[in-house]
Amino acid sequence: MSDTPLAIGIDFGGTSVKAGVVFRGNIIDHAPPISTQDFDSPDALIEAIARVVEDLCARHTGVAALGVGMPGFVDFEKGVVYNLTNVRGWEMIPLKVRLEALTKLPVVVDNDANCMAYAEWKRGVGRGYRHLVCLTLGTGVGGGIIANGQMVRGARHGAGEVGQTSIDFRGRRGHYGNLGALEDYIGNNEIAAAASEAYHAAGIHKSAADCSPVALATAAHGGDPIALAIWDDVAEKLACTVMNCCWLLNPEAVVIGGGVARAGDLIFGPLTSHLYAQLSGPFKDHLMILPARFGNEAGMIGAAAMALEAAGFPPEP
Amino acid sequence: MSDTPLAIGIDFGGTSVKAGVVFRGNIIDHAPPISTQDFDSPDALIEAIARVVEDLCARHTGVAALGVGMPGFVDFEKGVVYNLTNVRGWEMIPLKVRLEALTKLPVVVDNDANCMAYAEWKRGVGRGYRHLVCLTLGTGVGGGIIANGQMVRGARHGAGEVGQTSIDFRGRRGHYGNLGALEDYIGNNEIAAAASEAYHAAGIHKSAADCSPVALATAAHGGDPIALAIWDDVAEKLACTVMNCCWLLNPEAVVIGGGVARAGDLIFGPLTSHLYAQLSGPFKDHLMILPARFGNEAGMIGAAAMALEAAGFPPEP
């Protein structure tokens, strides 16, 4: 047992629930993933999660807290999950209370994008910053905001929904009725659809797989002009939202992660030039645009760090 | 002399500098305004301001602090004015240090929109909220943000530039190179230009005065369809930016003030409907959209309140 306690971080996804034991920002043990579809009710799934936690605690002494990142709106204070878009039956579930009763650990429940932001802020490339915006680009576009050295959760714990903000006041109508949401242009599927359309218009046949962000990154690195144009387009739209965050929050750094961000320089190059052309001095001088350190494990690492701090353990060295 | 100390608030505008003695959010004495154009150098103007402060202090015992709201970027911690767009020679002026030396009062210097936001937060319709966004609509569009019960100023004290955020990623190019800035659509002059164009297109002759926001409000209240369409258009664009603030910050309330906001229901009606159609539950339930309490005096009241708190006096009852 060490001075720095262990925590368990859980990344609750639309298809599987992953759990890991975290020590100073490193996952030192993984539980086998649970498939969310194997369980008919939230109760049954919560009990399965609790058993996984028990197994991990049995293998590691000194687990002091449990953090859970959820793919939906969460009342952070009460630990109640309002609803999940992709998992049946999850409405107004008091997850924190249920898990605390079953595991006897102090539990924190937050939105998954907040957990990722927390991971980067406490253990990743955002460490030490007091004013930080984190974005995660995947099927959806999520985010988390740190201002004055604190996580900004807002009135109902919904803050940081970067992907729902608009880049076009008369743009596409999104899931919540919002017009021009960034997510509706640069989510995984929207990038693939734009690429498919561009290839088709050029008379080039491409499969769906050829239009995935990963395939488009490979094509662009090989000099494919259509793929390059797609990434520039993604960067231009992303720059609009990042710029808005900068004018509003004047962060020291913007951290960008998630699958789409793995396109690397294809995004970060044009993003930076579109962005810097649209900011004045105090907003761009010293501004850092940083690729995230963590990939798929960010949610677990962030949830674990958040749980330890909420349980009264000081930030790890 | 009372238990609650007095403070002097200064509203430094592009054409004049106004100063008032503030007691619990009320201006109990005004100094005659100083014309900024009467002074060749920042030094001369600063000395004139100090004389005005001395005069006010001579008339009121118990003045404990001095707050100044500036129309430009300010380093809040150091009290240095980076630059003013509309007043010659104001670049890197250590206003706080200069005024403290001349007046012997503790001085706070901040951006004017932050002062207005502070006034509404501490003494106006935003009182008691921990998560608040304030906008001020005039020639420019400014703002201030409160999150977790603290003013958000950001890395270089620039946060809250709501008017510079984009509503259209390929929109008009603004002062800082930014595309689609809200201010470039709904600033006073832009509203007047849009109205002038709409009347002209309809074959109706209108003078420039007929196209001012005040005249357009009168015309719209009289049923003029072109004026009504202009206000709906302003509200639609404003809704985009307010919506973005809500998704990002999930505030309890949004306070809207400034000259343009005096159009009242002409703006607040369509703004609310455009806005609520584009937000999900946790972002719109309980969300308050509030007309500001203070008009032209907001800057003085906010600067004074900020100065008192910075000088260690607890928030007034």
Please provide the distance, in angstroms rounded to a whole number, between the alpha carbons at the two ends of chain B: 16
B317 pLDDT band (50/70/90 cuts)?
low
d(CA B186, CA B224): 19
Report pLDDT for B86.
80
Q: How many angstroms away from the CA of B116 is the closest CA of chain A?
A: 16
B117: how many CB neighbours lie within 10 A of its CB? Answer: 34
How far are the Cα atoms of A16, A33, A68, A105, A294 from residue A36, in angstroms, in the given order?
5, 9, 15, 22, 24
Cβ distance B178 to A243 less than 8 Å, yes or no, reads yes
Put simply, the answer to whether B168 touches A165 (Cβ < 8 Å) is no
Using an 8 Å CB-CB cutoff, list chain A residues near B280. Answer: 73, 176
A244 to B244: CB separation less than 8 angstroms, yes or no: yes
pLDDT of residue A317: 59
Rounded to whole angstroms, how far apart are CA atoms A184 and B169?
14
DSSP letters spanning chain B: --SSPEEEEEEE-SSEEEEEEEETTEEEEEPPPEEGGG-SSHHHHHHHHHHHHHHHHHHSTTEEEEEEEESEEEETTTTEEEEESSSTT-EEE-HHHHHHHHH-S-EEEEEHHHHHHHHHHHHSTTTT-SSEEEEEESSSEEEEEEETTEE---TTS----GGGSBSBTTS-B-TTS-BTBTHHHHSHHHHHHHHHHHHHHTT----TGGGSHHHHHHHHHTT-HHHHHHHHHHHHHHHHHHHHHHHHH--SEEEEESGGGGGTHHHHHHHHHHHHTT--HHHHTT-EEEE-S-STTHHHHHHHHHHHHHTTPPPP-
Alpha-carbon gap: A72 to the closest alpha carbon of chain B (Å): 11
Tell me which chain B residue has its CA closest to the CA of residue A274.
Answer: B178
Chain B closest-CA separation from residue A145 CA (Å): 8
Burial B168-193 (b: 16+ CB within 10 A, else e): bbebeebebebbbbbbbbbbbebbbe
pLDDT score at B165: 98
Are the beta carbons of B142 and B135 closer than 8 angstroms? yes
Q: Is residue A128 a contact partner of residue B128, using CB atoms and an 8 Å limit?
A: no
Q: What pLDDT is stored for residue B3 in this prediction?
A: 67
Q: Compute the nearest-CA separation of A59 from chain B (Å).
A: 39
| Distance separating the N- and C-terminal Cα atoms of chain A | 16
Is the pTM higher than 0.95? The answer reads: yes
Phi and psi based region of residue A150 (left: phi greater than 0; alpha: psi -120 to 50; beta: remaining)? beta
Option in A178, A251, A277 nearest B243 (CB): A178
- Residue B168: list chain A partners with CB under 8 A: 167-169
Amino acid at B2: S
CA distance B60 to B69: 21
The half-sphere exposure of A122 on its side-chain side, counting CA atoms within 13 A, is 29
- Separation between Cα atoms, residue A31 and residue A18, nearest integer Å: 7
What is the rounded CA–CA span in Å between residue B243 and residue B19?
35
Q: Min CA distance, B313 vs chain A (Å)?
A: 21
Residue A160 contacts residue A281 (beta carbons within 8 Å): no
From the list A249, A243, A92, the residue with the least C-alpha distance to B148 is A249
Structural domains of chain B in order of their starting residue, each with its CATH number:
6-117+297-310 (3.30.420.40), 128-291 (3.30.420.40)
pLDDT of residue B1: 43
CB B109 within 8 A of CB B74: yes
Q: Of all residues in chain A, what percent carry a pLDDT higher than 70?
A: 98
Q: Which residues of A45-84 are buried (b: 16+ CB within 10 A; e: fewer)?
A: bbebbbebbeebbeeeeebbbbbbbbbbbbbbeebbbbbb
Q: Which residue of B has its CA nearest to A284?
A: B156
Cβ distance of B165 and A248 shorter than 8 Å: yes
Q: What is the pLDDT of residues A192-250, one digit of tens each?
A: 999 999 999 999 999 999 999 999 999 999 999 999 999 999 999 999 999 999 999 99
| Cβ proximity of B19 and B49 under 8 Å | yes
How far is Cα of residue A162 from the mean position of the Cα atoms in its chain? 11
At A266 the pLDDT is 96
Q: What is the residue-averaged pLDDT of chain B?
A: 95
Residue whose tokens read 């960034």:
A182
Residue A12 pLDDT > 50: yes
Lowest-pLDDT range of A134-138, B105-109, B310-314? B310-314
| A202-to-A206, A226, A236 alpha-carbon distances in Å | 11, 9, 22
> What is the torsion angle, in degrees rounded to the nearest 10, for the CA atoms of residue A79, residue A174, residue B236 and residue B86?
70
| Mean pLDDT (chain A, rounded) | 95
Share of chain A above pLDDT 90, in %: 92
What is the rounded distance in angstroms from the CA atom of residue A144 to the CA atom of residue B247?
11
For the stretch A31-64, pLDDT in tens is 999 999 899 899 999 999 999 999 999 999 999 9
Distance CA B233, CA B8 (A): 39
Instruction: Dig out the tokens for B274 from the structure.
Output: 């455009």
Q: Which of A150, A159, A243 sits opposite B249 (nearest CB)?
A: A159
Chain A residues closer than 8 Å to B275 by CB? none
Give the pLDDT confidence score for residue A314 in this predicted structure: 83
Partner residue opposite B168 with nearest CB, options A159, A169, A285: A169
For residue A302, give the H/E element and its range.
helix A298-310
Residue A87 above 90 pLDDT? no
Q: Can you tell me the mean pLDDT for B148-157?
A: 97
pLDDT, mean of residues A140-166 = 97
- Point out the residue among B82, B148, B252 whose CB comes nearest to the CB of A282: B82
pLDDT computed for residue B87 by the predictor: 87
Asked whether the beta carbons of B162 and B133 are under 8 A apart, the reply is yes
Instruction: Work out the pLDDT band at A4, boundaries 50, 70, 90.
Output: confident
Query: Are residues B280 and A176, on separate chains, in Cβ contact within 8 Å?
Result: yes
- B247 burial type by CB count under 10 A (0-12 exposed, 13-18 middle, 19+ buried): buried
- C-beta atoms surrounding A203 within 10 Å: 6
Mind listing the pLDDT tens digit for each residue in B276-290? Answer: 999 999 999 999 999
* Confidence check: pLDDT of A1 > 70: no
Residues of A within 8 A of B286 (CB-CB) are 155-156
